[in-house]
Structure 1
Amino acid sequence: MGRCEPRIISLCCLLIFGCWQAAAVEMQVEPEVNGVVGDDATLRCTFRSTSPVTGRLSVDWTYRPVDSEASHSVFYYQEQPYTPTSGKFKGRAVWSGDIRRGDASITLRDLKFSDNGTYSCHVKNPPGDVHGQAGEMQLRVVTTVTHSEMKILLAAIGGAILLAIVLIVTVASIRACRQHRRQRTELEKNPQYW
């Protein structure tokens, strides 16, 4: 019994150390992204790793269409971006992330209706962070901006115009007051013009 105890303790230590070393990468993505046909859409994916980022870190983006369970590769990164050389994302999926800042984002160019679906971002940072859930988001491609987006845009434009008008009126009022004060001062200095 005395000989087994050190082995059991060693085994427990190895298990605890192994579990601690195999921590998961924390992922953050927007749950839903809306895009307009023909425009570009950035699929934002940020991560935090408990291990230092090394050249072994990899980012794997996959796509699952709305009407299918099969996943397709979209983009791969390990030390450098590997753009797709074939398939529907060839020439359209580009790297827009910065690994050192925990950013694994990509941009899809020239959106099409067939791009609707679920996109998954999976980051691995061996040897420590190799497990964890992929960040998933839904991309919804529409023909035009939605009403809520249009309202926000109109409110921003209206606010900018209103601010410009207020600034112009304020500047004109200040100038008119200064000119009026200057004329009054000149009249007080030269009473012969009365």
Structure 2
Amino acid sequence: MLSAAAAVGTLHLAVLGCLFVTACSIEVFTNKELEAVNGTDTRLKCTFSSSAPVGDNIIIVWLFRPLSGGEDQTIFYYHKNAYPQLDGRFQGRAVWDGNIMRNDASILIRNIQPMDNGTYLCQVKNPPDVHVEMGEIQVRVVNKAKLSEIFVLALVIGVGSAAIILIVLAFVLYRYCRMKKIHRSTPVSMLECTEKLNEKPCNMKEVYA
């Protein structure tokens, strides 16, 4: 597997070859910033456009620049086949997730951790097309749930609360209507009727004998 220095050396040779070609251009596109949730599998998207046909000559190199600074570290290399890192912090975690025939040079970082905070650089070479400026992604790992998970949780709580409120209201309304019906069907006594004689004539059908 090539080191970062070897990858840069290969790029310099491609640049020299490009000087003898009339059309030599390639562009790399990445998200400038990415927020990843701790412990999740995070896709680092990198796409490219090239004026030359994409084939077996294409080379893709992913580098990592720690927040603490220092030399860029090669974490993934692709040339005809994918060559993940065999040691270091990204061993078994930086895996191929792209498709060169669709101009996709993306990789996946499995189980991303706070120690993975830093800058990820995507370098694409498709001789005779070359690209000196690499695509950069500033990755920040956070300890919080995704927005979709928060939305689902809030939706479940909201629906549950609304259902409970409706049940309580229905019960209270039922009790109120039942008590009102019982109150209306209760006949008045003779004494009550006598007391209200001056207010409203009594209905003798409702008076107890």
Q: TM-score, normalised by structure 1?
A: 0.66
Q: Which residue of 2 aligns with 1:18?
A: 20
- Aligned residue pairs total 142
Check the 8 A contact 2:27/2:131 in 1, yes or no.
Answer: no
1:30-45 aligned at under 5 Å gives the runs 30-45=31-46
Determine helix, strand or coil for the equivalent of 1:154. helix
Aligned-pair distance for 1:19?
5.2
1:24-173 aligned at under 5 Å gives the runs 24-126=25-127, 128-145=128-145, 149-150=146-147, 153-154=150-151, 158=155
In the alignment, the residues of structure 1 paired with residue 25 and residue 135 of structure 2 have an alpha-carbon distance, to the nearest angstrom, of: 12
In the alignment, the residues of structure 2 paired with residue 138 and residue 17 of structure 1 have an alpha-carbon distance, to the nearest angstrom, of: 32
C-alpha distance after superposition, 1:56-97 (max 9, x if no partner): 100000000011131001100011100111111100011000
In the alignment, the residues of structure 1 paired with residue 117 and residue 104 of structure 2 have an alpha-carbon distance, to the nearest angstrom, of: 23
- In structure 2, give the amino acid aligned to 1:116: N
| Percent identity of equivalent pairs | 38
In the alignment, the residues of structure 1 paired with residue 130 and residue 69 of structure 2 have an alpha-carbon distance, to the nearest angstrom, of: 27
In the alignment, the residues of structure 2 paired with residue 134 and residue 36 of structure 1 have an alpha-carbon distance, to the nearest angstrom, of: 25
Return 5+ residue gaps in structure 1 as ranges: 1-15, 163-194
Residues 107 and 25 of structure 1, relative CA distance in 2, 3 Å threshold: same
Give RMSD over aligned pairs. 2.7
Return 5+ residue gaps in structure 2 as ranges: 1-17, 160-209
In the alignment, the residues of structure 2 paired with residue 17 and residue 75 of structure 1 have an alpha-carbon distance, to the nearest angstrom, of: 28
Q: TM-score, normalised by structure 2?
A: 0.61
Question: Greater CA radius of gyration, 1 or 2?
Answer: 2
- In structure 2, give the amino acid aligned to 1:133: E
